[in-house]
Amino acid sequence: MYDWANSVYSLVITSAIFPIYYKAVAVTDNGDMVNFLGFTLENSVLYTYALSFSFLVVAAILPLLSGVADYAGKKKAFMKVFVVTGSAACMGLFFFRDINSLEWGIFCSIMASIGYSGSLVFYDAFLPEIVTLDRYDATSARGYSMGYYGSVILMVICLLIITYSASFGFPTEGHAVRFTFLLVGLWWIGFSSITFRFMPENPYGRKPEGNIWTKGYAELLKVWQSLKASPDLKRYLLAFFFFNMGVQTVMYLATLFGTDVLQLDSSKLILTILLIQLVASVGAWLSARFSARYGNKTTLLLMIAIWIVVCVAAYFIATEFQFYALAFVVGMIMGGVQSLARATYTKLIPENAIDHASYFSFFDVTYNLSIVFGTFSYGLINQITGSMRNSALALAVFFVIGMIALTQVKSTNLRKT
């Protein structure tokens, strides 16, 4: 249910409605060139840098917080803080009206991203505590599938409100669009309450003593020592860093690619994104079935190979139909690679470990840093070369490195069950 709750942020705010709204209102007399805190740069470049900054913040604070959460048995409490932060920031985007409130819009988008990413480390850490190893793949895939279904439902509601804004009593379409940001925040925090109602509070009965911050640091240090003695975990984190860099950058910036490179209008972009979400739910389910038969490692390598083809194809596409075809392929492998990446890491954690938040902090720090480098390099290449096609092509290199690193992971847990 938490995937169901938070995925509306991923779809409406990061992928579909907000990026299009942002591109429409973040304009000046100089066109797409905007002034932000004394710097003048292109609005799409500013947006990619803002995302990079948010993930950098999360990467900096999560390790210590996860250690404290493990030591004090407070994973759920920390998760709640990030959920409230993220959902409130989404609702705050309602007040991002025009270029005069650009700083506010960027601030809220950064805080929403921090809330979303920060909550995931504690959420993911519950996976090995609620199901057994043989169900990691299927449970992770089910979560992602539920997220895609839930996000599509709210997305359709949002589109109806925007399309028939006058009938719903909104003075302009812009007011209706900003209202959908309120809906995202309410949906996120509302359905999260179901997760918080049923998720175990302190499954290992941890009873903190002394200063929880110093003890939390010690907890994190203990897990770090364990990581040093687990070569497969280290190799997998390296592989995950590179292939996730490509996956997440495509997810976050595909909409900007469609508007800037192919000049697609917003209605076509949104329909494309809906197609991706529906196909991704099937892809997540298929990846779990495929991994059960052929193993996690083989399945991930196959999907990464397809991602490489996608990035190279993105450099050459020139028509609307080609964009739709590529979007279909992205959908099929997007859900699968995300759900399987989470389940694969869970299988590599030592079976006797109970510091799951600390272990997942390294996974999620890797996740966030990969997005920092991915979105930043994407924006930088775009800024230097003047073309997002070159940025897309560069992502293929990241996938190649990730594939090579993944071949070095030898754990038998990643073979077929």
Q: What is the pLDDT at residue 70?
A: 66
Q: Token pair for residue 115?
A: 């809330």
pLDDT of 212 strictly over 70: no
Mean pLDDT value across the chain: 83
Nearest by Cα to 378 from 399, 400, 364, 393 = 393
3-class SS of residue 412: helix
Whose tokens are 């299988």? That residue is: 347
Distances (CA, A) of 53 to 180, 181, 399: 25, 21, 23
CATH superfamily of 2-414: MFS general substrate transporter like domains (1.20.1250.20)
Q: Token pair for residue 289?
A: 């079935």
Looking at the chain, how many residues does it have? 417
pLDDT digits (tens, 9 = 90+) for 274-309: 888 788 888 888 888 888 888 888 999 999 999 999
Q: Token pair for residue 194?
A: 């179901």
The residue ranges of DSSP E strands in 2-80, in sequence order, are: 33-36, 39-42
Q: Where are the domains of the chain?
A: 2-414
CB neighbour burial string for 98-113, b if at least 16 within 10 angstroms, e if fewer: eeeebeebbbbbbbbb
Q: 249 or 110, which is more confident?
A: 110
pLDDT digits (tens, 9 = 90+) for 4-62: 999 999 888 887 788 888 888 888 777 788 888 877 888 878 887 888 888 888 878 87
pLDDT digits (tens, 9 = 90+) for 57-79: 887 887 777 777 766 677 888 89
What residue type is 193 in one-letter code? S
Instruction: Collect all residues with Cβ–Cβ distance below 8 Å to 373 and sequence separation of at least 6.
Output: 245
pLDDT digits (tens, 9 = 90+) for 379-407: 788 878 877 788 888 888 999 999 999 99
**CA-CA distance, 20 to 98, in Å (whole number)?**
13
Instruction: Collect all residues with Cβ–Cβ distance below 8 Å to 346 and sequence separation of at least 6.
Output: 124, 127, 128, 133, 136, 140
Taking the mean position of all CA atoms in its chain, how far away is CA 188?
15
Q: 233 or 196, which is more confident?
A: 196
Give the range among 34-38, 118-122, 259-263, 331-335 with minimum mean pLDDT.
259-263
Percentage of the chain lying above the pLDDT 90 cut? 25
Q: What is the pLDDT at residue 71?
A: 66
**CA-CA distance, 112 to 118, in Å (whole number)?**
10
Q: Token pair for residue 166?
A: 């006058």
Please answer whether residues 332 and 283 qualify as being in contact, where contact means their C-beta atoms are separated by less than 8 angstroms: yes
Please answer whether residues 286 and 138 qualify as being in contact, where contact means their C-beta atoms are separated by less than 8 angstroms: no
Q: Flag whether the pTM goes above 0.75.
A: yes
Q: For residue 413, name the pLDDT band (cuts at 50, 70, 90).
A: low
Q: For residue 123, name the pLDDT band (cuts at 50, 70, 90).
A: confident
Q: What is the pLDDT at residue 191?
A: 96
Instruction: Collect all residues with Cβ–Cβ distance below 8 Å to 347 and sequence separation of at least 6.
Output: 133, 136, 296, 411, 413, 414
Concatenating the DSSP letter of every residue in 122-157 gives HHHTTHHHHS-GGGHHHHHHHHHHHHHHHHHHHHHH
In this structure, the number of other CB atoms found within 10 A of the CB of residue 210 comes to: 9
Q: What is the pLDDT at residue 215?
A: 61
Q: Per residue, what are the HEC states of 345-385? A: HHHHCCCCCCCHHHHHHHHHHHHHHHHHHHHHHHHHHHHHH
Q: What is the pLDDT at residue 252?
A: 66
Please answer whether residues 124 and 361 qualify as being in contact, where contact means their C-beta atoms are separated by less than 8 angstroms: no
Distances (CA, A) of 360 to 59, 119, 276, 349, 354: 12, 11, 27, 9, 11
Q: Token pair for residue 59?
A: 């990467």
pLDDT of 195 strictly over 70: yes
Q: Token pair for residue 230?
A: 């687990």
